Structures are given as C-alpha cells and as structure tokens.
Amino acid sequence: MKKKRTSKKDELRPEYDLKKLLKTGVRGKYVERFRKGTNSVLLEPDVAKVFSDARAVNEALRLVIQLTEIRK
C-alpha cells in the first residue's frame, strides 16, 4: 500500500532565497578548528557503565597518573 502524498505549504518568507543561501556553504569549513579543540576517546561499554560523566572519568585518570608518579 502506497502512502498518500501530502502537500506542504511553503512557510518560508519570500525574502529568503534558499537556492542562493545553500550555494554559499562550504563543507568541512570548521573541521580543523574542531579537531584542534577536541580529544575524544571511545570507552568500552563496561567501562562507560562505571562513570557517570566526563568529569568522573577525568578524576579517575588523574588518580591513576598520581599513583604512577608515586610509584616512580
């Protein structure tokens, strides 16, 4: 059974020309800036269950760093 086509009313104001606006976009314009400012790590599911948020992960990692420094 095919779905019925519904016509949608164009609610865009006439002064907005989408063809003109969408032509000027540049794909990946900010990708380098994003990569410089982020350092993402994917946690395994069993590890992610233990930590409630990024702050908890960071606290645990700082503790591990302190413990390794004490051991040296």
Answer yes or no: is 64 within a domain. yes
Answer yes or no: is 12 within a domain. no
Which DSSP helix (H) or strand (E) runs through 18?
Answer: helix 18-23
Q: Which domain holds residue 62?
A: 41-72
Answer yes or no: is 59 within a domain. yes
Answer yes or no: is 60 within a domain. yes
The DSSP code for 5 is P
Per residue in 31-72, pLDDT (tens digit) is 888 888 877 888 999 999 999 898 999 999 999 999 999 877
For 13-40, what is the mean pLDDT?
80
> Which residue has tokens 């960071």?
58
Its pTM surpasses 0.75? no
Answer yes or no: is 72 within a domain. yes
Both structure tokens of 60: 């645990």
Answer yes or no: is 57 within a domain. yes
How many structural domains is the chain composed of? 1
Q: What pLDDT is stored for residue 1 in this prediction?
A: 66
Report how far apart, in Å, the C-alpha atoms of 16 and of each of 7, 19, 21, 23, 24 are.
20, 9, 8, 13, 14
